[in-house]
Amino acid sequence: MKRIGVLTGGGDCPGLNAVLRAIYRTASARGYELLGIEDGFAGLIDLDRRRPYGNRMMSEEMVRGILPRGGTILGSSNSDDPFHYVAPGSDREEDVSDRVVDNARRLGLDALICIGGDGTMTIAHGLAGKGLRVVGVPKTIDNDLLATDYTFGFDTALHTAVDALDKLHTTAESHDRVMLLEVMGRHAGWIALHAGIAGDADVILIPEIPYSAAAVLAKIERRRAQGRYFSIIAVAEGAVPIGGCESYIEQARPGRAGRLGGAAERVAAALRALEPTLDCRVTVLGHLQRGGSPSPKDRLLGTRFGVAAVELVERGQFDHMVCLRTPHIRSVPIAEAIARRNVVDPQGELCAAARAVGICLGSPDEL
């Protein structure tokens, strides 16, 4: 019997379990056994790792009932890149990718399915270059992976963000306040833009359009002049002021990316500096966007991706990632998916639609 390994890497997102269930059921029906690797690549770097289970053969009992569950039953890690590994207690990066390839062979893996975002896909592609037979499945709430219309997890995060905007509306209106909601998305503004449009924000600030606080204030004042004394601002965590840079609460260090944070608070401070009478409140949605039960759309996409990933293994189409080309599930070389980041086009249809319905995107020409 042939053996496939599967791991979930990077930050978790809703829909991972839907993919795992689909992979297990498809693989076992086609005569493969499936080994679940614990905590992303960490489970291949150290075969003795047990947190709490270690790598284990997957079974129907493991996947039964997990479709609506958030998180990942395998665990995940966004700090165990084998090409830039920092061992516990060390502060130096080392390349342990050969060890990962050896360990995959020791585990008898004929193929490895890696479910993750751009970081995981970059690692998977690197391991493919060392002879490992990998297949990728794109996930991330940020939707910043190229070569797929959407990643699963994005839709659920969007629901959470829109729900938060709906709730902020009622309290903002009661108190004549400026409510700022900071959403995730890293260096891409997809969550802020989609949620802002769907959640009726007055201003949306995304990394792709550096903002002018004066333009934001002008929008708030135009609304006040029309008798609308509250305003809602959706701020992507990667939003940048003109001439400034992203706001970090933790700088990058060996083996770990920097942590974005503080973008909305910075906008509020800039607005207060321009107009001290403004009553601004900031809500940071944070990891709520990554948790909870996946939306039906994410369950469906995750299931379709899982089935397609096993089919790629069957066809021997390695170093490829499954993707959505609406309405079809297709595949692309992983290299294509990681060539650059998928970001919002400031001149694109979505930004034009936002502007058309009166949303301010913070650029100085909106003063």
C-beta separation of 35 from 107 below 8 A = yes
* Least distance CB 26 / ligand F6P (angstroms): 27
Q: Is 185 in the site for ligand F6P (CB under 6 A)?
A: yes
Yes or no: say if 240 and 246 are a contact pair by the CB < 8 Å rule: yes
Containing 185, the helix (H) or strand (E) segment is none
Give least dist CB 24 to ligand F6P, A: 25
**Could you give the CA distance from residue 27 to residue 10 in angstroms, rounded to a whole number?**
23
Q: Which is nearer to ligand F6P, 133 or 290 (CB)?
A: 290
Alpha helices in the chain (DSSP H): 16-29, 42-45, 60-63, 97-106, 118-128, 154-175, 190-198, 213-225, 263-274, 296-315, 334-337, 349-356
252 versus 367: smaller Cβ distance to ligand F6P: 252
Q: Are the C-beta atoms of 201 and 359 separated by less than 8 Å?
A: yes
Distance CA 303, CA 308 (A): 9
Residues paired with residue 211 on neighbouring β-strands, in sequence order: 241
Is residue 186 at the binding interface for ligand F6P, with CB under 6 A as the rule?
A: yes
Q: Which of 38, 46, 81, 142 binds ligand F6P (CB under 6 A)?
A: 142
Query: Which residue stretch of 54-62, 172-180, 183-191, 271-279 sits at the interface with ligand F6P (rule: CB under 6 A)?
Result: 183-191
Q: Is 12 a catalytic residue?
A: no
- In the bound state with ligand F6P, the residue whose beta carbon lies nearer, of 291 and 333, is 291
Report the residue number, 172 or 263, with the smaller CB distance to ligand F6P.
263
How far is the C-alpha of 16 from the C-alpha of 66, rounded, in Å?
A: 10
CB 195, min distance to ligand F6P, A: 13
Name which position in 178, 184, 193, 267 contacts ligand F6P (CB under 6 A): 184
Task: Please tell me which residue in 142, 144, 155, 298 is annotated as part of the active site.
Answer: 142
Supply the minimum distance, in Å, between the C-beta of residue 184 and ligand F6P.
Answer: 3
By CB under 6 A, is residue 290 in contact with ligand F6P? Answer: yes
78 binds ligand F6P (CB under 6 A): yes
Between helices 263-274 and 213-225, what is the axis angle to 10°? 60
Radius of gyration of the chain (CA): 22
DSSP result, 248-292: EEE--BTTB--EE--HHHHHHHHHHHH-TT--EEEEE-GGGGG-S
The residue within the footprint of ligand F6P, chosen from 106, 259, 325, 328 (CB under 6 A), is: 259
Quick one: which H or E segment has residue 346? none
**Residue in this structure with the two tokens 């970090």, named with its chain if needed:** 248
For ligand F6P, the binding residues in 106-125 under the rule CB under 6 A are 117
Region 298-327 residues binding ligand F6P, contact defined as CB under 6 A? none
Structure tokens at 76: 């995940």
CB atoms within 10 A of CB 283: 17
In which region does residue 312 sit, left (phi positive, over 0), alpha (psi from -120 to 50) or beta (all else)?
alpha
Stretch that binds ligand F6P, among 23-31, 136-144, 162-170, 224-232 (CB under 6 A): 136-144
User: Is 176 or 250 the residue whose CB approaches ligand F6P more closely?
Assistant: 250
Residue 91 in tokens: 């502060």
Least Å distance, CB 175 to ligand F6P, is: 29
Residue nearest ligand F6P, Cβ-based: 184
User: Given candidates 127, 260, 267, 344, which one binds ligand F6P under the rule CB under 6 A?
Assistant: 260
Give the residue carrying structure tokens 């769907």: 198
Vertex 68: Cα angle to 260 and 71 (nearest 5): 35
Rounded to whole angstroms, how far apart are CA atoms 249 and 316? 43
Part of the chain binding ligand F6P (CB under 6 A), chosen from 135-143, 158-166, 295-303, 316-324: 135-143
**Closest to 8 measured CA to CA, from 112, 160, 87, 147:** 112
Q: How far is the CB of 300 from ligand F6P (least distance, A)?
A: 21
Of the ranges 23-31, 124-132, 134-142, 346-354, which one interacts with ligand F6P (CB under 6 A)? 134-142
Nearer to ligand F6P, 133 or 186 (CB): 186
Decide if residue 342 touches ligand F6P (CB under 6 A). Answer: no
- For ligand F6P, the binding residues (CB under 6 A) are 11, 78, 117, 140-142, 184-186, 237, 259-260, 290
Residues assigned a catalytic role: 142
